Amino acid sequence: ITKELALLAYTELFELHSEEPKSNYQKWFGTAEQSHLTTVRAQFAKIIQQTTSLQTTRFTYACRLCDFKTGSGQEWMIAYINAALYEKINLCAQFWTQPSYNTGSQAGTLIRAFLQFTEHGRTPDFYITPAEVITLAHQNPERAISNAESYKYL
Cα dihedral value 111, 116, 122, 127, nearest 10: 90
- For 94-146, the pLDDT digits (tens) are 888 888 777 778 888 888 888 887 776 777 777 778 899 999 999 999 999 99
CA distance 61 to 81: 10
Domain locations in the chain as residue ranges: 2-58+99-153
CA distance 128 to 150: 8
- For residues 9 and 124, the answer to whether their CB atoms sit within 8 Å is no
- For 24-67, the pLDDT digits (tens) are 888 899 988 889 988 988 888 887 777 766 555 567 777 766 66
Q: If one looks up domain 2-58+99-153 in CATH, what number appears?
A: 3.40.390.10
- For residues 10 and 16, the answer to whether their CB atoms sit within 8 Å is no
The kind and range of the H/E element at 107 are helix 106-115
pTM above 0.85, yes or no: no
